[in-house]
Structure formats: C-alpha cells, structure tokens
Structure 1
Amino acid sequence: MSEDHSYEVHTLELGPYDTLAELHRDLSNHTSTFANLVFERENEVVVSLSHSVVSIAGRLFVSVVTTTDQPTDPHRE
C-alpha cells in the first residue's frame, strides 16, 4: 500500500427480492447513491464498485462492495 493513500472497503447488503427487475431497480439506485455518499461524506474517490447476487430459497440477495481511496496529506505528521 502506498504511504500517501488510504484505501477502505465498504459493504452494502440489499434484499431479499422476489424478482430480478426489483433487484435491478434497487441495485442501480442504491449503488450510485452509496458510492456518491461515501465520496461526498469522506472526500474519498471511488476506485472500484462490484456486486454479487445470490439466490437463497428462491429469493435474491445482493452485496455491494465499494473500495475508496482517500489521498493523505504527505506533509501531515
């Protein structure tokens, strides 16, 4: 890891959903909202965004993983 960067991983759990259309609608809304809130609140840059979908007992669940980078001030001790 670089000394002038601080990487963090954030996870958002969504679900359960009965249909893929419901999942897709919420995933699109929540993923962009989650990434933007992290960026604005912490002054971080989103460097990766991924998700996984699992089906359990006929229902769909999603995990959204966002990795962010917050450059550190090299002059700060």
Structure 2
Amino acid sequence: MIKGNVGYDGSKERYVVYGNFGEERELHCGDSFEVWVRPNWERTRIELNDEGVYYLIGCSVGLAEIAMYGLPVKI
C-alpha cells in the first residue's frame, strides 16, 4: 500500500500518487484508491472521458481539488 498525495505529471500526461516514502504510482483508467475526506476514507475510481479529461467515480471531491489541496490518498 502506498500512502501519500496525488499530483499531475505533465510529462506523463497523467495523475500520479506520490508516496510519503518516495514511492510513485501512475494512475490509469479503472484504478481504485481511497481519499481522506474528513472524517472518512472515500473509495473512488479514476476514469478518462472522451475528451481526454480524468474524473473520479464515487467521490465527493474532484480530482483537481484532491491534487490542489493535497488530500491524503492510499492505494
């Protein structure tokens, strides 16, 4: 399990989980992970729409907000 934060890597054109201990994991369509949205962990899945925009299923917070505010994630 990797615990850390999500960020966008422009060179890879995808979101990446950056672990607290230097680990990295690229997120691909269909990948599931959990996001800390107080006071609970929310299970979500990343997908890509027809316009090439990533989005989350089953999460009360958007992917851009998770990255911008540095919400903790685990995968």
TM-score under structure 1 length normalisation: 0.31
Q: Please tell me whether Structure 1 or Structure 2 has the larger radius of gyration of its CA atoms.
A: 1
TM-score under structure 2 length normalisation: 0.31
